[in-house]
Structure 1
Amino acid sequence: MTRCRAAIIAGLAAALVSAAPATAQQAGGDGTAEWITLGTGGGPVTNPSRSQPANLLRFGGQDYLVDVGDGTAMQIGKVGVQTRMIDAIFISHLHFDHTGGLAAILGLRFQTSGRDPLTIYGPPGTRDLVDGLFASMVPGATANYGVAGAPPADHRAGIEVVELRDGESATIGEMTVTARGNSHYSFPPESELAKRFQSLSYRFDIPGKSIVYTGDTGPSPAVEDLARGADLLVAEMMDIPLTITRMLAANPGLPDAQAKAMQSHLATHHLDARDVGEMAARAGVPAVVVTHFAGREAAEPEHLDYYRQAREAYDGVFMIADDLDVFRP
């Protein structure tokens, strides 16, 4: 950790604690909740220091994945969690940087004979995604360990998909999860694409605590409403001009129409530091954790500008997370 970032963390309010990951046996079994930022990179450009978007919510002895970007299986191993231990998965939307790790989770779960129930929650289209992954698993599941006469095993066993739309909720034990459609997609309201797809933000209400995860979104009154009264807001954030510059540099020769569409998407479907500060202030949340981060890193002087920009509107606890940070709201 850089000296600059250590100083920032040291100054945070005591309401939000960042610490080394607890072991699988210790975490979340005493009624407290932990939110672990497994992957904090803003896709789709790969980042050597940040894994793709993924989070682990631990509560009541259960383990819930919230988005499953590429590298999720490796990241949960670093905090002592095996794929068969995952009790539910929540997918915010179907962009590949948020779903690319699901194939590994399902495949390794099969290989380790995970048969406990696993429910995958997500927006419309999630069932098609999972069915496609099941189809891709058929050759490996059929060959299995390559032992003649071994009994066949169903790689789909115990897995259920539940699709959620704006305003719907699910109850899992003592936890209630509420979904709201956000502004990461801007299809015309009556179009077929708007009917087929939604990008969701989630609120996780557990006894005594509430955590809101924006997923990917632009400024959104619906997300602000969802976050009102929550204890922790986990928000995406990007340095949008810098990200546009990096995307164009990574894609030389990109056709003009595609370049304009990409720039429009980044400019209107994501949050910058001021947007996050304004959203948090209007929602009245006491603490914000930034993930899906694309911008200057802590070793660069400009990194502190994001804190200053957020502070123009928000005076609560504000932190840009790294991979494997742990938060106990």
Structure 2
Amino acid sequence: MPARLSRLALAALMATSPAVAQQAPSGGDAFVTLGTMGGPVPSRDRAQPANALTHDGRVYLVDVGDGTVQQMARAGIALPTVKAVFLSHLHVDHTGGLSAVLGLRNQTNINDPLTIYGPPGTRELVAGMVASMQPAARVGYGIPGKPWTPPAQTVDVIELTDGESITVDGMTVTAAQNTHYDFAPGSVDVRNYKSLSLRFDLPGRSIVYTGDTGPSAAVEKLAQGADLLVSEMIDMDGTLATVARNSPNMPAPARQQLEQHLSTHHLTPNAVGRLAASAGV
């Protein structure tokens, strides 16, 4: 296993201190955090969850929350270098920037199809985004007879499921269903709705991205011996205070559901430490 420059990266889901996009390296493999602020309330200081995995001169986006394209510009990542997108799950704070990625590719005549990998439901999500792009594509730049490329021709979707491994440009990507949702085992819901953690095995380096998850034996197994673990982390008190300020009139049942979600479907700092220790990272 190669020397480990960084064993554990905490992508702080609900952190409060300002952060800007990392600068993408000029060469080699790297995992660049573009946005580290999860929902449900936007932050003035942080973009929502998004990352860029660079490998062999190519860029792969790993989640695409709101603000992704601006953070890419700040990090020096050009849109044409993006070869694929990986979605951990379909909550809007992890997908809200995808429409801009797709629309700006179309507007700037990047016609090589962009493959989007994600859990069940990704095809439906992307179809809605493609439909929203149709009016602008037909208008183009307003030059008669010169529409942009039909948006459906610029994107492909591959849905992933628990335990699946695929090969993409010389790296192996493995998905593991985590505990961001807690639908009953064997239910229709658990079959139709999945939140995935992802492992990227590159030549000489392995990177695990938890996405959003609660404590999970499957994620511990996925992360065994990884060179870099990029984990979510929640500040429960800070998050609940932010929600209260943003939505002071939230009905009690809705608040209770949110508190249940935040407390059981995310990782506290201690839980992140236990995950890293168990995985040997």
User: Given the two structures, how large is their TM-score scaled by the length of structure 2?
Assistant: 0.91
Counterpart residue number, 2:12: none
Counterpart residue number, 1:27: 27
* 8 Å CA contact 1:40, 1:50 repeated in 2: yes
Counterpart residue number, 1:141: 137
Structure with bigger RCO (C-alpha 8 Å, 6+ apart): 1
Letter in 2 for 1:284: G
Q: Equivalent residues in 2 for 1:117-266 (5 A)?
A: 117-150=113-146, 153-266=149-262
Counterpart residue number, 1:312: none
Counterpart residue number, 2:6: 16
Distance 1:151 1:21 in 2: 35
Report the Cα offset of residue 159 of structure 1.
Answer: 1.7
Secondary structure of the structure 2 residue equivalent to 1:281: helix
Distance 1:246 1:276 in 2: 22
Distance 1:208 1:235 in 2: 21
Counterpart residue number, 2:91: 95
Letter in 1 for 2:6: L
Does residue 277 of the first structure (1) align with residue 273 of the second (2)? yes
* 8 Å CA contact 1:38, 1:54 repeated in 2: yes
* 8 Å CA contact 2:213, 2:232 repeated in 1: yes
* 8 Å CA contact 1:227, 1:283 repeated in 2: yes
Secondary structure of the structure 1 residue equivalent to 2:221: helix
Q: For residues 178-220 of structure 1, give each alpha carbon's deviation from its aligned partner in whole angstroms, at most 9, with x where no partner exists.
A: 0000000011223322121100000000011100000000000
Report the Cα offset of residue 284 of structure 1.
Answer: 0.2
Letter in 2 for 1:132: G
Moved more, 103-112 or 186-195: 186-195
Does residue 40 of the first structure (1) align with residue 33 of the second (2)? no
Letter in 1 for 2:224: R
Report the Cα offset of residue 250 of structure 1.
Answer: 1.6
Residues matched between the structures, number: 267
Letter in 2 for 1:239: D
Distance verdict in 2 for CA 1:15–1:70, change over 3 Å: same
Counterpart residue number, 2:65: 69
Secondary structure of the structure 2 residue equivalent to 1:36: strand
Distance 2:134 2:46 in 1: 31
Letter in 2 for 1:268: T
Runs of 4+ in 1 over 4 A off after TM superposition: 17-20
Distance 1:253 1:149 in 2: 51
* 8 Å CA contact 2:24, 2:32 repeated in 1: no
* 8 Å CA contact 1:84, 1:112 repeated in 2: no
Letter in 2 for 1:27: G
Letter in 1 for 2:27: A
Letter in 1 for 2:205: K
Report the Cα offset of residue 14 of structure 1.
Answer: 7.6
Unmatched tracts of structure 1, length 5 or more: 1-12, 286-329
Distance verdict in 2 for CA 1:146–1:198, change over 3 Å: same
Distance 1:72 1:152 in 2: 23
Q: For residues 149-178 of structure 1, give each alpha carbon's deviation from its aligned partner in whole angstroms, at most 9, with x where no partner exists.
A: 225521222421000000001101210000
Report the Cα offset of residue 252 of structure 1.
Answer: 1.1
Distance 2:157 2:24 in 1: 29
Distance 1:194 1:173 in 2: 30
Distance verdict in 2 for CA 1:124–1:14, change over 3 Å: closer
User: Given the two structures, how large is their TM-score scaled by the length of structure 1?
Assistant: 0.78
Letter in 2 for 1:21: Q
Distance 1:172 1:190 in 2: 30
Moved more, 157-166 or 197-206: 157-166
Letter in 1 for 2:50: A
Distance verdict in 2 for CA 1:75–1:20, change over 3 Å: closer
* 8 Å CA contact 2:183, 2:190 repeated in 1: yes
Unmatched tracts of structure 2, length 5 or more: 10-20
Letter in 1 for 2:5: A
Letter in 1 for 2:253: A
Report the Cα offset of residue 83 of structure 1.
Answer: 2.2
* 8 Å CA contact 1:84, 1:116 repeated in 2: no
Q: For residues 113-147 of structure 1, give each alpha carbon's deviation from its aligned partner in whole angstroms, at most 9, with x where no partner exists.
A: 11123110000000000000011111111111101
RMSD: 1.9
Distance 1:84 1:174 in 2: 19
Secondary structure of the structure 2 residue equivalent to 1:156: helix
Does residue 116 of the first structure (1) align with residue 112 of the second (2)? yes
Q: For residues 225-253 of structure 1, give each alpha carbon's deviation from its aligned partner in whole angstroms, at most 9, with x where no partner exists.
A: 00001001000001113212321232111
